[in-house]
A and B are shown apart, each in its own frame.
Chain A
Amino acid sequence: MNRPGTVLVLGTGQAGFQVAASLREEKFDGRVVLVGDEPGLPYQRPPLSKAYLTGKADADAVRLRPDRFFAEHRLELRAGERAARIDRAGRRVVLASGEALPYDHLVLALGARNRALPVPGAELDGVVQLRTLGDAEGLRRRLETTREAVVVGAGFIGLEFAAVAAARGVAVTVVEAADRPMARSLSVAMSAFFRGAHERQGVRFVFGASVVRVLGGDGGGRATGVETADGRRFPGDLVLVGIGVVPNAELAADAGLAVADGIVVDERLETSDPAISAIGDCARHPCRFAAGAGPVRIESVQNAVDQARCVAARLAGRTAPYGAVPWFWSDQGASKLQIAGMAAPHDRAVVRGDPAGGAFSVFCFREGGLAGVESVNRPLDHVLARKLLANGADLAPEQAADPGFDLKARAGTPRAA
């Protein structure tokens, strides 16, 4: 864009908010319009399954910025509005209300939605998901009277919830199709640590089991548990479903943009239409940290924020390829998991630290190079791992495993050319 025009952002999550805020930091002087289907001010999602659920944070505390910020920065927030259609030829977006909003550049920050549990009974009262502030409010209320809960899916959201619920004295059963928790993302060693940590808090795991039905009570209206394919039944007055997400790519697909499990973008985060960018959970981008250099779709705050910044800089005239090191965190009970890079898949993993003591890192290698590092209660390892990956520093598995090896010195040393 050569002159200030209108940047229209669809989505008011972390990515949508950040691209708007970063445009102003970049001194972009045109109109910035944000459209999102959720009510209220943009908020952070990570605390919803952590501090918000425990009551440590309220709705105000999870807001990204107050009203004042949007007014002062001339960010036109259209909350509670749904985009119905992208008119690429006319460079406008038609809202469900019929109103059309023009754009010079369109940023799709549409996020993802939770995958629904495709079994009978999934519509019963007491079967819940957790993604929005509204979901979290409802869940927090339900938890006050929940005695037994079934969590379907041993992923990050399910286990963060399980930890909060178990700490409240709820009997929690986690039903998972794979043979270990967070199997898609974590090394065997880290997965085993978290299994043990949750079990010590009273969480029961059922692995290798798929839910085929949600059971209803006599009246049939309320969930009372789940049944698995082998006929076993697990009781729960609350059934939390955390079985992954589906990217919100339909608007893009309907507009003829390239879509493949997410909106396909290039290294500049442009879609197949140069007037449209896509960022965050909904975008599939080439990633030099991923196996085979991607492309990947990453669901994380870091990815949303850094991609937003990359697009804002481009729209302000500073084009650079996206290349941030991915990082991620998950708080589960007393254990803080941090991941740097793209640790999965890997062909070798070495441990640094003390798994028995609950503070260690798993350094994961792929084809001889460092792919990613998982840390639990070893935040310094995590920070250094991000530097190692950003600098492309050489690190051998033997060095990573050697407690005497000076990781900090190596992290500060870019690889010799």
Chain B
Amino acid sequence: MPNIVFVHPDGAREELEIAEGTSVMQGATAQGIDGIVAECGGNCMCATCHVYIEPSQLALLPAMSEEEDALLDGTASERRPNSRLSCQIAVTPAMGGLVVNLPERQV
């Protein structure tokens, strides 16, 4: 299973194995890490699984849908060019080592 690296706002790093096909959000909440709320359970409806992807790895991700784009306009922490919703990132083998930075707040 690909390893995904979560970096908390204080710099602390946690590495999780997430099965291919599972979303980054699902892997993170199932393993109980802080910093991803995901109140809608991964339906792309709430913008509380906001993350900042390491810019050099953005190309590994699926394209952003219109609704993800609109939801990102309403995140609790500022939107940046590397902002994504982690429920919309299904893990692929190529994502091993993906670095996911967690925002200060989700709500």
**A residues touching B (Cβ–Cβ < 8 Å)?**
18, 25, 44, 46-47, 60-61, 63-69, 72, 301-302, 305, 309, 327, 329, 338, 379-380, 382-384, 386-387, 408, 412
Contacts and interface: CB of A to CB of B under 8 A. Distances in A.
A77 B73 CA distance: 36
B41 A305 contact: no
Interface of B: 26, 29-32, 39-41, 43-46, 65-67, 70-71, 73-74, 107
Contacts of A386: 74
A341 to B, nearest CB: 14
Nearest to A305: B39
Contacts of A408: 70
Nearest to A309: B107
Contacts of B107: 25, 309
Nearest to A70: B32
B67 A66 contact: no
Nearest to A62: B41
B32 A65 contact: yes
Given A61-B30, A69-B32, 9 more contacts: A44-B41, A68-B32, A301-B40, A302-B39, A302-B46, A383-B67, A384-B70, A387-B74, A408-B70
A329 B43 contact: yes
A65 B29 contact: yes
A64 B29 CA distance: 7
B26 A379 contact: no
Given A302-B39, A309-B107, A387-B74, A380 B66 contact: yes
B67 to A, nearest CB: 4
Nearest to A45: B41
A72 B34 CA distance: 10
B1 to A, nearest CB: 15
Contacts of B41: 44, 46-47, 301
Contacts of A61: 26, 30
Contacts of B70: 380, 383-384, 408
A172 B70 CA distance: 38
Q: Which of B30, B41, B66 neighbours the largest number of chain A CB atoms within 10 Å of its CB?
A: B41
Contacts of A69: 32
Contact of A301 (B26, B32, B39, B73): B39
A66 B45 contact: no
A36 to B, nearest CB: 19
A387 B73 CA distance: 10
